Copies of this chain bind each other. A is one copy, B any other.
């Protein structure tokens, strides 16, 4: 059994048209469907139907989708989730357009997660036969794919445990109060494969159900700069960056969509391995862990969630 990845983020926006324009022209996603007050997007590298859904009304995250590779995984996850003690229900094919049947789980942090094993195949923009390395005519940042999300949690330790026990994620890096209390998780980066992290959790009072950010992978440090240049041209509100994370070693810019949902462009980061021992960050070094170069935690970064 393996959860393959974060398959989609479904978020709320205050103005659908404005957000559609932003995610299309500035972020460079491809809109693939508009229906029922929602717009569905995919990155040019992605083969599945969509990886981002925006929905009119408010801010924050409505739900996340995690994809498994096999229908059989649903039962195993369901069983483990119930054993863990969280609420699960079955969802039917078509409850989400172009998405298979699956599970719906309310995880300890209160977020809704859908687990599914199939989306309609749309294919990447470069095709499957003798492809070019990118498609001509990308817009804005031209992000290729959704990478990960960071969610808030009142109890980060418990939420981390959920992803490990039920999704079989492993710890990559963790923030702990100090080395005498390594069992208490302040923040955690968890992966299922080699991609740095697929989900991260930030603990804090009142953080349940909150979204800190979701991130798009871009190629490298030069792509990060290019994304930043587009932010300036399109007057995007930039939170922090360009900089590098100490945690994951990824290069990054944080910025906000027109509704105030935090986005990230994320590049590189080291190749994670399930058998590597996790890295620990102590709370006093959190600044360096999050923003390696200036080692200073911007206030907004740990307090502004949507």
- Interface flags for A171-188 (1: CB within 8 Å of B; 0: not) read 000000001000000000
A220, B217: Cβ atoms under 8 Å? no
How far, in Å, is A225 (CB) from chain B's closest CB?
6
Contact partner, A282, options B121, B130, B193, Cβ 8 Å:
B130
Known contacts A130-B285, A232-B292, A292-B229; is-contact A217 B271 (Cβ 8 Å) = yes
Most buried by B among A228, A229, A241, A294: A294
For residue A274, CB closer than 8 A to chain B, the reply is yes
Interface size class of A (residues with CB under 8 A): 35 or more
For residue A273, CB closer than 8 A to chain B, the reply is yes
- Interface flags for A276-305 (1: CB within 8 Å of B; 0: not) read 111111100100110011111000000000
A243, B228: Cβ atoms under 8 Å? yes
Q: How far is the CA of A41 from the CA of B296 in the complex (A)?
A: 31
Q: Which residues of B contact A219 (CB under 8 A)?
A: 220, 268
A249, B280: Cβ atoms under 8 Å? no
B121, A277: Cβ atoms under 8 Å? yes
Contact partner, A45, options B121, B229, B270, B275, Cβ 8 Å:
B270
- Interface flags for A129-156 (1: CB within 8 Å of B; 0: not) read 1111110100000001101000000000
B133, A249: Cβ atoms under 8 Å? yes
Q: How far is the CA of A282 from the CA of B129 in the complex (A)?
A: 8
Name A134's closest neighbour in chain B (CB-CB).
Answer: B229
Q: Which residues of B contact A112 (CB under 8 A)?
A: none
Known contacts A45-B270, A271-B145; is-contact A279 B243 (Cβ 8 Å) = no
Q: How far is the CA of A238 from the CA of B278 in the complex (A)?
A: 29
Name A130's closest neighbour in chain B (CB-CB).
Answer: B285
For residue A91, CB closer than 8 A to chain B, the reply is no
Q: How far is the CA of A225 from the CA of B134 in the complex (A)?
A: 12
Name A121's closest neighbour in chain B (CB-CB).
Answer: B277
